[in-house]
Amino acid sequence: MIPIAKPYLTREDAQAAYDTILTGWITQGPKVQEFEENFAAYTGAKYAVAVSNCTTALHLSLIVSGIKPGDEVICPSMSYIATANAIKYVGATPVFAEVHPANYNLDPVDVEKRITAKTKAILLVHQIGMPADIDNFSSLSKKYGLKLIEDAACAAGSAYKGKKIGSHSELVCFSFHPRKVISTGDGGMITTDQEDHFNRLKLLRQHGMSVNDRVRHEAKQIVFEDHFEVGYNYRMTDIQASVGIKQLEKLEWLINERRKIAAEYHKAFKDLEFVQLPTENDGYFSNYQSYSIYLKKSCPVGRNDLMQILLDQGIASRRGIMTAHREMAYKKNSNHVNLPISEDLQDHSILLPLYVPMEDKDLQYVIATFLKIVNP
């Protein structure tokens, strides 16, 4: 079976975790700080705060942005459900907006139409690694006095107008889940240029504790901590961070390899009139966390049938990106939601295998099998 994705983890990563375990320091400690500093330097942000996953990163970012019960936050429905869930965690209401059919990212025109007096933030997703139009949304946020938070779960290493994702907005959230370009098993990161956000995020991730474990451990005199506010246990372990440090060193190479695979798909499918391929406009640089193809109505094979035939031939695939408003958790309160583009994209898109290393024979088999199915 050719999988849809798999993490690139090596003996070097395993050795880093092993060495960290032997130090006896396995929870949040010096390796977490090193990973944070390295990640901030890579993205060009002043600060980075490591957390347990991207969902907790989004939750904390909404809190420090001052989002409260009764507020509205505009986000895409076409995103993993964690995007909307994080908004619900703070008692706010996710307001689902439409995406652009060419890149699956929020449409600024549609977003502006949905701004009300209750709107306090826009949660902008860089879907499957393709950067969204940050400048347009930054201008929109300033125009209406809104917070702009980036959900960059899939976008580590992607770039917008010459700068890495993570250095453009007040708060940017990343994921290190196994489906992402680099992984720590699970884990997340928040980048920011604001020192007040940096300090409060560090408090919130560790129960609001005034002094972290590392400081207490290294102190030459007794230290008693206080707890400044109700916080959370959203820490990253040093075991994860040690793997993350090594993964980050490979990130540019991994992206280069992923882009080679995407280029092969582009070349093979560019002449098919009944498919729409990913669009990477000038100034946009994708890490190709996933490769999604939209099947037009003229495609001779339906999406679900295509997926089943691929599976029968030993090739895993996935349906288009989910739409949260059609999931049971949100469906009962989303009867009024009208998102025909998002629904159409989900229903007629397919994600093909893309991972490193992907042997050329496997890549060519996927391409040949796909072409045989759609051109019987």
State the CB neighbour count (10 A cutoff) for residue 372: 11
- On whether both 205 and 257 belong to a single domain, the answer is no
Q: Is the pLDDT of residue 222 over 80?
A: no
- On whether both 65 and 191 belong to a single domain, the answer is yes
- On whether both 146 and 193 belong to a single domain, the answer is yes
- On whether both 93 and 45 belong to a single domain, the answer is yes
Residues of the domain holding 35: 11-249
86 falls within a domain? yes
pLDDT range class, residue 216, cuts 50, 70, 90: low
The predicted model gives 230-254 an average pLDDT of: 97
- On whether both 255 and 245 belong to a single domain, the answer is no
3 falls within a domain? no
Paired residues of 293 in beta bridges: 350
Q: In the prediction, which pLDDT does 376 show?
A: 75
- On whether both 120 and 264 belong to a single domain, the answer is no
The alpha carbon dihedral of 276, 278, 283, 284 has a sign of positive
Tell me how far apart the alpha carbons of residues 229 and 210 are, in angstroms, rounded to a whole number: 9
Name the domain boundary from 206, 226, 249. 249
Name the domain boundary from 249, 266, 294. 249
Q: What is the pLDDT of residues 137-153, one digit of tens each?
A: 999 999 999 999 999 99
2 falls within a domain? no
Tokens representing residue 124 in the block: 């902008």
Cβ(163)–Cβ(169) below 8 Å: no
6 falls within a domain? no
Q: What is the pLDDT of residues 299-350, one digit of tens each?
A: 999 999 999 999 999 999 999 999 999 999 998 887 789 999 999 999 999 9
Name the domain boundary from 249, 273, 290. 249
Kindly report the CATH number assigned to the domain that includes residue 95.
Answer: 3.40.640.10
Kindly report the CATH number assigned to the domain that includes residue 326.
Answer: 3.90.1150.10
Q: Is the pLDDT of residue 361 over 80?
A: yes
218 versus 27: which is more confidently predicted?
27
Q: Is the pLDDT of residue 219 over 80?
A: no
Q: What is the dihedral of CA 256, 260, 265, 270, to 10 degrees?
A: 100
Residues labelled as active-site residues: 180
- On whether both 173 and 311 belong to a single domain, the answer is no
- On whether both 259 and 192 belong to a single domain, the answer is no
- On whether both 243 and 158 belong to a single domain, the answer is yes
Tokens representing residue 336 in the block: 């009024």
Looking at the structure of the chain, the number of domains it has is 2
276 falls within a domain? yes
